[in-house]
Amino acid sequence: MADTGFAPSWLLFDRSTRAIIYGYQAQAVQGMLDFDYVCRRDRPSVACIVNPTRGGTHLAFWGSRPLPVPMYQSLAEAVARHPEASVLVNFASARSAYGVTAEALAHPCFRVVAVIAEGVPERRSRELIAMARERGTTLIGPATVGGIKAGAFKIGNAGGTLENIVESRLCRPGHVAYVSRSGGLSNELNNIIARNTDGVYEGIALGGDRHAGSTYIDHILRYERDPEVAMIVLLGEIGGTDEYEVADALRAGRITKPLVAWCIGTSAGLFSAGVQFGHAGARADAQRETARAKNEALRAAGAVVPASFEDFDRSIAETYCRLVAAGKFAPAADVQPPPIPMDFGAAVRAGVVRRAPAFVSSIADDRGEELAYAGLPISEVIERGLGVGGVIGLLWFKRELPAWACRFIELVLQVAADHGPAVSGAHNTIVAARAGKDIVSSVASGLLTVGPRFGGAIEGAASVFRRAVKDGQPAGELVAAMRAKGEPIPGIGHLAKSVTNPDRRVELLKSFSAQHFPATPHLEYALAVERLTTAKRDNLILNVDGCIGALFLDLLQSSGLFCAAEIDEVADGGMLNGLFLLSRTIGLIGHFMDQRRLRAPLYRHPWDDIAYLAPDRHEP
């Protein structure tokens, strides 16, 4: 514990101490900043974060104000930019903790290095301990929660939640310093000391591994030299012999301040063989390492050792009261810390705030134990064999459709999946694939051509047929009205198919509906329109888009699950083009894969495929 230039030598932390955090631990960083805020520090204790995967900035909070924290990809850069940082809080994994700590020990700016990781190999731990002692650096850990200097600084997650920190009066220093092995029990010590004294001055959790970077005596001797410490608390445990160093120092007079001590694990004597008590080092392999033997040694050396842990708090309180009565110090006054705003996520979970969500979803929910589609668990969707059509019913319409309706949807997806390479969607996909574009870009280029001339007729036909059927408009009036406006009837007409050469896809859809649909008023209306239009020209037939649009209206109406307003919404809301998008995506992916299998070169138009037109010239 040599003096490395910081004065006084016993002081590891104060209200100006700054730390570098190794590892992207956002919760720990915010916890340190919240502690700084309630302690009314002038400057945040977190100087920066070292995140090997990316640099930039981490957005934290100082009270309610956003606080950007610099983030670097190397420790060397962090040290160069923040030479004032004297503490490294090392959250690196057990696998990389040794290398990061060794690098940190080579930087003279670090007075303290805390290694949080558990499971660091013992040989590596001993090497780090030797390096730290050679350089005069205080090493806390491995396997530690760190430590806390009340009203000044805390390491990582030490002290627990902010509520526990405030309740334990850690926002200002008391006069009792402690050292323990356990991070969890150090939080208990914070509460015990707060209830029985004026509070904690400083507390260190050494870490639970067999070889700790610093020992009880290291910190107790610091507390002995610190004039602000009135009494010391030691919470030892079964395993190891470090407590005997404290007993020796008591007998030698090196420790003069009152010391209240207890070693946990006295129940181990009830077992016939050695028992592991949680920590890697909490195991007695010899009588000298038992908690009972160490408690007796500390008591014989002059420490205040209670009869059991149940009396530990009473011993602390009695020792404290004697010091106050003797006028050794004036108890610290309580302070009211500023309130910390609750994080929005925590407030929502606690049910203390409400805010209109930016996005709303009523079709799927993944918050429970399993995903649900429209309230139906995914396992039930699969077990009941609802199929793709059933899933579409749940996600598109929030209804569980009858079996015949699900089968119809799947039939639509099959017959509309592709229509050859010449249509615009397939053509664009092929061109993009030959140009070396990825699957998403290639398929998207094809889907972007969907519109009135490619696929959009499903929506148009459904809208026209729905209005005509609702209004009771005769088929002849519809044909005449569209002719008068000079507009084609959506869903009517085909380039290659005709009355004498029918589209087999339309025949399949009509056959299925005749067998399974309860009623088909929209299809019958569309066929009435077809009889009129084919009388003029035999290729003005009901095409596959028009047939799908009409039959889907019949599906909604015949199922009995939708009211008239809902059917109108589907007909006019652009939803039915989703059937074409979904089905045609299957074909477009096939075209992309086909081109990749063929290893087709970059597409280039031959000169004969381009018509060059002279520009129009308008004479004045």
| pLDDT tens per residue, range 400-454 | 999 999 999 999 999 999 988 988 999 999 999 988 899 999 999 999 998 767 7
CA angle 601, 607, 613 (to 5 degrees): 135
Task: Give residue 368's pLDDT.
Answer: 85
- The confidence score (pLDDT) of residue 3 equals 39
Is-contact 73 51, C-beta < 8 A? yes
pLDDT at res. 602: 63
Cβ–Cβ under 8 Å, residues 235 and 180: yes
Residues 6 or more apart in contact with residue 474 via CB below 8 angstroms: none
In this structure, of 146-150, 251-255, 491-495, 555-559, the range with the lowest mean pLDDT score is: 491-495
In order of their start, the domains of the chain are 19-325 (3.40.50.261), 364-415 (no CATH), 424-598 (no CATH)
Instruction: Examine the pLDDT at 284 and tell me if it is beyond 60.
Output: no
Q: Read off the pLDDT of residues 471-488 as tens digits, 9 standing for 90 and up.
A: 999 999 999 999 999 999
How many Å apart are CA 212 and CA 13, to the nearest integer?
A: 20
Buried b (16+ CB within 10 A) or exposed e, 530-556: bebbbeeeebbbbbbbbbbbbbbbbbb
Residues with a known catalytic role = 279
Sorting pLDDT into bands at 50, 70 and 90, what band is 148? very high
Which 3-state string (H, E, C) describes 355-418?
A: CCCCCCCCCEECCCCCCEECCEEHHHHHHCCCHHHHHHHHHHHCCCCCHHHHHHHHHHHHHCCC
Which residues lie closer than 8 Å to 162 by C-beta, 6 or more apart? 31, 34, 35, 38, 340
289-312: pLDDT as tens digits = 899 999 999 999 999 999 999 999
The pLDDT-based confidence of 352 (bands split at 50, 70, 90) is confident
Q: Over 80: is that where the pLDDT of 615 sits?
A: no
Percent of the chain with pLDDT over 70: 93
DSSP 64: T
| Residue carrying structure tokens 């998207």 | 444
- Burial class from Cβ neighbours inside 10 Å (0-12, 13-18, 19+) for residue 577 reads buried
pLDDT confidence of residue 457: 83
Specify the DSSP element, H or E, that contains 67.
Answer: strand 65-72
pLDDT at position 6, please?
Answer: 45
Among residues 398, 397, 403, which one has the least CA distance to residue 571?
Answer: 397
d(CA 90, CA 310): 35
Tokens of 313: 């708090």
The pLDDT of 98-121, averaged and rounded, is 96
Predicted confidence at residue 181, as pLDDT, reads 92
Sign of the alpha-carbon torsion through 125, 128, 133, 138? negative
Q: List the one residue out of 141, 40, 151 whose CA is nearest residue 98.
A: 141
Is the pLDDT at 391 greater than 80? The verdict is: yes
202-215: pLDDT as tens digits: 999 999 888 999 99
Residue 225 in tokens: 């030299």
What are the beta bridge partners of residue 69? Answer: 58
Q: Burial of 213 by CB count in 10 Å (0-12 exposed, 13-18 middle, 19+ buried)?
A: buried
Look at residue 538 in the predicted model and tell me its pLDDT.
Answer: 94
Q: Mean of the pLDDT values across residues 66-71? A: 96
**Rounded mean pLDDT of the chain?**
91
pLDDT (average), residues 310-323: 97
